[in-house]
Structure 1
Amino acid sequence: MRKDHWSSIVHFHLLCRFLFAFSVLSSVSLIFWSQSSASCNGEAALNPEKRNESFHLLAFPSALNQLSFSAKPPRRLLKVALFVKRWPHRNLAGGLERHALTLHLALARRGHEIHVFTTKSNATFPRHNDAAMSFHQTPPSPAGYLNQALAWEQFQTENATGRPFDVIHSESVGLLHGRARNISNLAASWHGIAYETIHSDVVQDLLRGPDEPRRPTITERLSKVIEEVKFFPHYAHHVATSDHVGDVLKRIYMIPEERVHIIVNGVAESIYRPDQKMGEEFRRKVGVPDRARLVIGLAGRLVKDKGHPLMFEALKQVFGEEERFQRDVFVLVAGDGPWGNRYKELGRNIIVLGPLEQSELAKFYNSLDVYLNPTLRAQGLDHTFIEAMLSGVAIAGTRFASITGSLIVGSNVGYTFLPTVESLKESLYKIMKDGKQVLSKKGEVARSRALHLFTATKMAAAYERLFQCISKEPAVKDNIDYCRYPLPWDSGKLK
């Protein structure tokens, strides 16, 4: 074999080892940074109102959700253009689409004019009589994505009609960087970036079966990271939906700090809230007996990269090893995917519910003692965690940086485990040992944290002020600098 061929193989293996070490060390350092920075900088950075000082909003280093913006109707209303690949349809939406709906419906209900540029769907978009939302739909591109040329043409037409847009918002790459270039009043929200997926790829490759081929994408990921580092600066402002991603955008993607803003995801607190009676009724409805010692919940897409092969094997082993677990612990599985039928093989303790509507999901969370998400995807801030936290339920999740940096920040909130069967089993045994009383206390702490950071109201208020700050003419009409915090009306707490 030629010498240069052997050399390329050696370089490939060295690259793989480097990526693994870099991913692990980076995750550890970022977890330490996220937990220690709050205590070191803590009161000064996270609670500036305690110092009674004004500061520039774009310089705030932590999640804007922590600030107390006014709950009153805004003094300046905005015309917002939203670019999103797809608009959510009932219970089939992914996290990005659900975020787009929750955020912009909340903004519209606060009086802002929202124009949604998205892919045409066979489904009928719901009408909201209390919100000014207009939909501009285009047939999908040949690849099934948002047709950028047609959507941009619609945007330009609307932008030239009467009042131009104050702000443009792109959910991920809803608006591609070539068109986003040189638009100063544009913000892109990132729900997952290529750098995070390196960790996911390493984990999934380590869990690969002996006869399962290595996915070719693992060797292509570094190139995608480099491409993102190149084109991300074309977006004027970046919204990181987790603390971890905010740090990566600043350090690894080298985007100036004043252009990176952390606004963690939020969900509707009016829907997801504790209701013991509703939970008890749901248990009886789906067949959980009164003798059940614990109820564990899983939700989402029941596919491989969400960790369900890992969960299946862990449950299978625990049921075989511990008679009490098999007898007294019940697992509710909400969602759709190929692993739904597999779970049924584990016996009557596993109740597969299929996909649930939002109102049924709220009942589902209230029926649980703990919500567990075994995801193998290191990117993004999963909405299901937040929905469970707002419902007052303890949570358990994979030890990825976004999860430990923003959600499960300590054992008082829930449990974390490595993406291995043994580590997941340890958490399951620990959950059973702790029991209902301990889990209930963790659920109270989880809800308190969620109310402080992860409500739709907090998220929408943070985006609203950011949009007012970066809008095309932020201070022309009312001579107010919306980039300063606090403004006189910011003293009241959000409800």
Structure 2
Amino acid sequence: MPITLNPLTLTVDMHILVMTRSTLSHGFGGFQRQCIDLCEGFVRLGHKVTVLTTAHPDGILKEEQSGFIVHFLTPSRPRRLSRSWFKASKKIIEEIHREDPIDVIHSNEFAALGVISWAKRRNIPITVVCHGSFRTGLLSFLSSADRRPRYWHWLLLTPMFMIRRTLMWEMPMRRNSSNIILVSPTLEGDFRLFSHNKVRVIENGITLPERREPTTGNGNLRLLCTGRAEREKGFHLAIKAVAEISELDLHLDLVGTGAYLDEMRLLVDNLELNDRVTFHGRVDDQELSRIYSSADIYLIPTIRYEGLPLALLEAMAHGLPTVASHIGGNTDVITNDHDGIFISPGRLDELVTAIRRLGTDPALRSSMSKAARETTERRFDKERMVRETIEVLSSLP
């Protein structure tokens, strides 16, 4: 495809191949949302986008989404990168390139590992987006690992697997990429040793909803958690906090699906909280926005070291005061006691104290609500994220 200058955006029209282990077709989460937001943004700026990802949960092989084509490669497992997926990506990329030459590859983490040699032979640059690092992955595992004796072998085997994956998958991607995009400044130190001259921080961005008036009453208060239902997300702590705070009229909304969902439902049953906790499952963007707008306090009691949670940005954009673990990318976003409250990861007592503090102080909720909205308006607009990413892609040799 000949590269031409787009007169509306003053950028080069490109064919961008996006490679990722999952999209919104695989489940609800910030990783998936960020990928699709970028693809939609690239299309709006006049670029052609093709997406390669893992197998669709329903067996679909190809579909069009918002102006770009998504190929679900088989044989592979949904959301799982593997040797078979790398082999399949190498096969299909040649067909795509013959039909319309690829100008640049945008790889979510090490999804493009299987096509490194192919791209180098054709002088096609690869940009890698990193949402975490070996250090953050290891710390997340250690903070949530089951330490009962029958699981001790996993305390040894999992770090060994992570080291192997880093050496065989992550490091080759770093060496052979033209640029590395980090979603949070907290990750810069982890990439300084081997890849410092390639690194660019582009913080995640979101679509800013309409402003809303913060809640000021002391009546029924709705707490909200969103994201994939995984133990590391700490949703079980939010459920236990509701059980402990009997003096406030609280209701907890949980949005998302995942492997830990059944255990959370069982916990709600055991604590007799069925009338105070609602499981919404996966919802569309319109329903999610409605749930955000009806919430009073957002909770992100994660024990996982995440890059920059989109869910946190979405909640703050809706003017929700947030109680968040002091961990990972959360520390780049929240200013404690200004637009949110930090707690120590895994500390139920601190979570309970923070909810009580916000629940009994409408003036504090109001001031944090306004500050949270101002933070997202100033730093986390989605169009800024798309524009900065295109600047990186269009500047590659």
Equivalent AA in structure 1 for residue 73 of structure 2: T
Q: 2:53 aligns with which of 95, 118, 125?
A: 118
The equivalences for 1:293-332 within 5 A come to: 293-316=220-243, 318-319=244-245, 323-325=246-248, 328-332=249-253
3-state SS in 1 of match to 2:353: helix
Q: Distance in 1 between matches of 2:114 and 2:192?
A: 18
1:196 is matched with 136
Corresponding position: 1:237 with 2:237: no
Task: Check the 8 A contact 2:55/2:76 in 1, yes or no.
Answer: no
Q: Is the 8 A contact 1:306 1:374 kept in 2?
A: yes
Task: Report the equivalent of 2:88.
Answer: 150
Q: Which runs of 5+ in 1 are unaligned?
A: 1-70, 280-289, 473-495
Name 1:334's counterpart in structure 2.
Answer: 255
Q: Contact 1:87/1:97 (CA < 8 Å) preserved in 2?
A: yes
Secondary structure in 2 matching 1:412: coil
Share of identical aligned residues, percent? 17
Change (3 A) 1:274 1:139: same
Q: Which has the larger radius of gyration?
A: 1
Residue 261 of structure 1 aligns with an amino acid whose one-letter code is R
Q: Could you tell me which of 171, 174, 185 is aligned with 2:111?
A: 174
Are 1:177 and 1:235, in contact at CA under 8 Å, matched by a contact in 2? Answer: no
Residue 141 in 1 paired to residue 76 in 2?
yes
Output aligned runs, 1:263-282, within 5 Å.
263-269=202-208, 272-275=209-212
Query: Is 1:186–2:126 an aligned residue pair?
Result: yes
DSSP 3-state at the match of 1:377: coil
How far, CA to CA, are the matches of 1:104 and 1:75 in structure 2?
A: 16
Letter matched to residue 201 of structure 1: F
Report the equivalent of 2:342.
416
Partner of 1:101: 36
Q: Answer whether contact 1:276 1:366 (CA < 8 A) is retained.
A: no
Calculate the aligned-residue CA RMSD, in Å.
3.1
Q: TM-score, normalised by structure 1?
A: 0.67
Which residue of 15, 19, 22 maps to 1:79? 15
Q: Deviations over 1:12-55 (max 9, x none)?
A: xxxxxxxxxxxxxxxxxxxxxxxxxxxxxxxxxxxxxxxxxxxx
Cα separation, 2, equivalents of 1:201 and 1:128: 34
SS in 2 for 1:314: helix
Q: Which amino acid aligns with 2:265?
A: G
Contact conserved, 1:177 with 1:234, CA < 8 A, in 2? no
Change (3 A) 1:198 1:128: closer
5+ residue gaps, structure 2, are: 1-6
Partner of 2:4: none
Question: Which residue does the alignment assign to 1:262?
Answer: 201
The alpha carbon displacement at 1:293 in A equals 4.3
1:96 and 1:171 in contact (8 A); partners too = no
Partner of 1:438: 364
Q: Distance in 1 between matches of 2:163 and 2:113?
A: 20
Q: Against the structure 1 CA distance between its residues 430 and 360, is the aligned structure 2 distance closer, same or farther, given a 3 Å change threshold? A: same
State the AA in 1 paired with 2:91.
Answer: E
| Cα pair 1:136 1:154 within 8 Å, conserved | no
**Does structure 2 retain, via aligned residues, the 8 Å contact 1:74–1:110?**
no
Contact 1:343–1:352 (8 Å) recurs in 2: no
1:327-366 alignment runs, 5 A limit: 328-336=249-257, 337-338=261-262, 339-344=264-269, 345-347=271-273, 348-366=275-293
Shift of 1:225: 5.0
Letter in 1 for 2:133: I
2:306 to 361, 379, 382: 379
Contact 2:223 2:295 in 1 (8 A): yes
Q: CA deviation at 1:311?
A: 2.9
TM-score using structure 2 length: 0.83
Q: Which has the higher contact order (CA 8 A, sep 6+)?
A: 1
Matches of 1:74 and 1:330, distance apart in 2: 49
SS of aligned partner of 1:100: helix
Q: CA deviation at 1:107?
A: 0.9
Could you tell me which amino acid in structure 2 is paired with residue 431 of structure 1?
A: L
Which of 383, 390, 393 in structure 2 is aligned with 1:464? 390
Following superposition, the deviation at residue 203 of structure 1 comes to 1.9
Structure 1 residues 114 and 229, CA gap change in structure 2 (3 angstroms): closer
Q: Residues of 1 paired with 2:75 and 2:9: CA distance?
A: 36
Total equivalences in the alignment: 373
- The CA deviation at 1:213 is 3.0
User: Deviation of residue 357 (structure 1)?
Assistant: 1.8
> How much has 1:196 moved relative to structure 2?
0.2
Are residues 1:159 and 2:85 paired?
no
Any conservation in 2 of the 1:298–1:372 contact (CA below 8 Å)?
yes
